[in-house]
Amino acid sequence: RPPRSTLFPYTTLFRSVATFAQTTLWDGEDKVLGTGGDFWDRCSQKVVENPAKDGVNTSDKCLEFKITGNEWNNGSAAIGLSTSSFESKRMSLMIKKDKDSNVRIEVKFNNGIKKVAAWYGGSGAWQKLYFDFSTNGVDGNPTEITIFPTTDAVEGEQTIHLDNIQKIGRASCRERV
């Protein structure tokens, strides 16, 4: 029989769990259908029933808007933000659109506007995208966000769906014995 001291590593379990605190900046669930959902008035935006609840976004409601270009006035959705610290400098959102392309977000901070892009390859399905501002000199708290669903030229009209815009906090680890 092995000495008691050699059993200690086998009978004790240490686990570390990493979690990321997320703060929701916009979510369709608490918005009224048919309204602009607090977004600025452009691109015919309105809160609608989620057109595809079988994917990553099972929410009942989301924002729908239509774009005819990739410029600020006819190819984006924007909203003012009221949030405290932005220490992690990371954001995420869910988007559904018909054409695969880069999605760019511009966030206004104390020291100007910062831009980050992420690739959407969902081919018409909901996809969660992550945007990392940690390398471009962000200082202060975000005061507004503009979402450009494509950086490509737009032919005709495209319908875009957005939901669950979040800032992602720093990871925290908790040890349990």
- If you average pLDDT over residues 66-70, what whole number do you get? 90
Q: What is the pLDDT of residue 167?
A: 86
- If you average pLDDT over residues 140-153, what whole number do you get? 89
> DSSP letters of 100-147?
-EEEEEEEEETTEEEEEEEEE--TTS-EEEEEE-TTTT--S---EEEE
Q: What is the pLDDT of residue 3?
A: 53
Of 27-31, 58-62, 169-173, minimum mean pLDDT range: 169-173
Region of 121 (left: φ > 0; alpha: ψ -120 to 50; beta: rest) is alpha
More confident residue, 120 or 138: 120
Pairing of strands 61-67, 46-49: antiparallel
- If you average pLDDT over residues 99-111, what whole number do you get? 90
pLDDT > 90: what percent of the chain?
54
Of 8-12, 118-122, 130-134, minimum mean pLDDT range: 8-12
Give the C-alpha separation, 145 to 132, whole Å. Answer: 14
Enter the tokens of residue 65: 């808007």
Q: What is the pLDDT of residue 70?
A: 84
Per the DSSP assignment, residues forming a β-bridge with 85 are none
Q: What is the pLDDT of residue 48?
A: 98
- If you average pLDDT over residues 92-115, what whole number do you get? 91
Residue 94 clears pLDDT 60, i.e. is over it:
yes
